[in-house]
Amino acid sequence: MKSSTLLVLLCLQAVLVMGIFAAVAKENAAVGESKAIDINPGQLKCCTNCNFSFSGLYTCDDVKKVCDPVCKKCVAVKTYSGKMFKCTDTFLGMCGPKC
């Protein structure tokens, strides 16, 4: 086999492998692998169980009967006293006063 034919085959194989890697990377991005944190610009009225980080972001783990109106994403939590709600937003700044 001539060296030029071998070079052409190696180039075609490299292009094929690069195409496969590009398709896999595009599929992973579509699944949401590189998802940024959605920060709520609002401020909660109060928070007793605050998870504050040194980056300036915090979440509030309070479980209440009614979710705070500032909260964008509120999830239902089952408790012994019935159905309660918890805000799962990430906020920027300092935690509010304790409830």
Residue 60 forms beta bridges with which residues? Answer: 50
What's the pLDDT score for residue 37?
A: 74
Residues 47-85 have pLDDT tens digits of 899 988 888 889 999 999 998 899 999 999 998 988 999
What is the rounded distance in angstroms from the CA atom of residue 20 to the CA atom of residue 55? 38
Give pTM, 2 decimals.
Answer: 0.57
* 90-92 and 57-60 strand pairing: antiparallel
Residues 3-53 have pLDDT tens digits of 778 777 776 676 665 656 555 565 555 555 545 677 888 888 888 999 888
What's the pLDDT score for residue 99?
A: 86
